[in-house]
Structure 1
Amino acid sequence: MEPVRKRKFSSMWEHFEQISPNKVKCLLCAKELGYNNNTSSMLRHFRALHENSEGNVAGPSPVSRKKDLDDALVSMIVKDTQPFSIVEDTGFREFVAKLDPTYILPTRKAMVEERYQHEKEKAKAEVQKVAAVSLTADMCTSINMDAYLAVTCHFIDETI
């Protein structure tokens, strides 16, 4: 026979998860707190660290924060011409874990596909506005024998 579980009515359970019979974990900052069948410590923690003066959760939601961090990571990789595989490097993973242990790095495949779709749609929209284009292609092989194809598109638009 399974033990009867108590229903959790407090709104604090929206921001915490129970990880053991006497421990809870904050979903906003991953801090673990003691739990003794009441939500007082959870409420104190939440009010001190996560609630603004209007009684709302301070800062972005965990989902929008992850999206912001993912976007910032992709932008850094693109602007600094870093390889997308950086997210698989042990040192980089350890560095990110020190900065924010709750942040889960996206896979390089997920980052590349999302960014590729966005940039492709942006390029298509821009090229559709012009009357003529000139394309050039260049192929090369890296030291590791990885083949690359670069396609460059030149056009004149109405801003010139």
Structure 2
Amino acid sequence: MSVVWNYFQVSPSDFKLAICNDCKALVMRGGTKASSFNTSNLISHLRMKHSERYAAFVEQNNEKKQQGQGAQKKNTQLMLKESTEKKQKYNKDHPRAKAINQKIMECIALDNQPFSIVQDARFTKLVEFLEPRFAMPNRKYFSDVCLPELYNVVYSHVEKLIADALSISFTTDVWSSSVSHVSMLSMTAQWLDEDFELKKCVLHSQKCRGSHTAEAITCAFEGMFEMWKIPKESVHVVVRVNARNMAKATSEFGVPSLPCMAHTLQLAVNEGALSQHSIADALAMLRTQAAYVCTLKRFLFFHFTSSLKHCL
């Protein structure tokens, strides 16, 4: 609204006229329709009839223009600042970046994805489309920073659950891989919570280096129980395989244990079946044929890939 209306008011009897606050003169507003109204006649009236009022009007009008220009400049600066910020990438400590890293780490852990997924072109394009300001870290950042952070969160949660359990049952075994020649000693826990709901989780899994003696396994048990702060008194039973080293290890560790029923049954069936010469001979033939098929598949695959490389 123009500053000139500080010195005029609309005529109550005719909206086409304005009344001067000083001399009460009627001044035309510039037409017969509201769309054609202006303030030129009002300003001219002040300039010709009231010089002091006109000078005050000019000063007030200039101040209003300066304020408007200042606000416009400020808005322009804010818009430029916001536009620049939107183009800048988040740093690794930004809350939004940390939240996205956490979700990606959960995806890798829960879906059994490799760390190399963060370097896949389509995956990085997808994340960039969803959040253009996010800069994808390398795989080492996820393995060295994000994974330990997620581990600490899960560890604290499981530790609290176990601390409230009065009695816990365990299963353990040493698993050996025929591919990578790595042996793993694992331990899972099962217990009932206050609502009588079954809880279970894999507490520990570590490389079992050297000979799998009872002494080595006992030492590993001590480390696991000490890490999770589980007293031996709260152990209900440890279900293990029938191997002598596992039986001796649980005995030396001082916890009750039982052999796995499924493993015992499998050993009985296996020994009974292999004692029959016809079955043993048939299995030997099948193993030979399986080895031949695997070798043939590898040869064909190698030949196909080599031919494909030459074609490309």
Deviations 1:131-154 (A, max 9, x none): 111111122233222333321001
SS at match of 2:94: helix
Q: Which has the higher contact order (CA 8 A, sep 6+)?
A: 1
Call closer, same or farther: CA 1:146–1:43 in 2, change over 3 Å. farther
Partner of 1:121: 156
Q: Cα deviation per residue 1:107-151 (whole Å; 9 max; x = unaligned)? A: 313232212221111111001111111111122233222333321
**CA drift at 1:78:** 2.4
Aligned to 2:95: 64
Which of 156, 171, 189 is the aligned partner of 1:153?
A: 189
Q: Counterpart in 1 of 2:135?
A: 102
CA distance in structure 1 between the partners assigned to 2:109 and 2:118 by the alignment: 20
Of the two, which has the highest radius of gyration? Answer: 2
Letter in 2 for 1:87: F
TM-score by length of 2: 0.30
Residue of structure 1 in register with 2:166 after alignment: 131
Q: Count residues in correspondence.
A: 108
Alignment of 1:6-155 (within 5 A): 44-47=79-82, 63-82=94-113, 86-88=114-116, 92=120, 94-98=121-125, 99-100=127-128, 102-105=135-138, 106-142=141-177, 143-155=179-191
Gaps of 5+ in 1: 1-40, 52-60
Shift of residue 87 of structure 1? 2.4
Quick one: which amino acid aligns to residue 122 of structure 2? F
* Aligned-partner residue type, residue 190 of structure 2: H
Q: Which runs of 4+ in 1 moved over 4 A?
A: 41-46, 48-51
Could you state the TM-score of these two structures normalised by the residue count of structure 1? 0.53
Structure 2 letter corresponding to 1:88: S
- Return the alpha-carbon distance in structure 1 between the equivalents of residues 195 and 115 of structure 2: 38
**Letter of the 1:104 counterpart:** P
Residue type at the aligned position of 1:102: A
Partner-residue secondary structure (3-state), 2:188: strand
What CA deviation, in whole Å up to 9, does each residue of 1:27-64 have, x standing for no partner?
xxxxxxxxxxxxxx98545445868xxxxxxxxx9711
Q: CA RMSD in A?
A: 3.3
Provide the C-alpha distance between the structure 1 equivalents of 2:182 and 2:77, rounded to a whole number of angstroms. Answer: 53
Seen in structure 2, the aligned counterparts of structure 1 residues 112 and 145 have a Cα distance that, compared at 3 Å, is farther
SS of 2:106 mapped into structure 1: helix
Q: Distance in 1 between matches of 2:83 and 2:159?
A: 49
State the alpha-carbon separation in 2 of the partners of residues 47 and 111 from structure 1: 30
Larger % of helix: which? 2
Pair 1:136–1:108, CA change in 2 (3 A): same
d(CA) in 2 for partners of 1:154, 1:81: 23
Cα separation, 2, equivalents of 1:104 and 1:79: 19
Q: For residues 159 and 80 of structure 2, what CA distance do their matches in structure 1 show?
A: 49
CA drift of 1:104 comes to 1.8
Q: CA offset at residue 81 of structure 1? A: 2.4
SS in 2 for 1:107: helix
For the residue of structure 2 that corresponds to 1:149, the secondary structure is strand
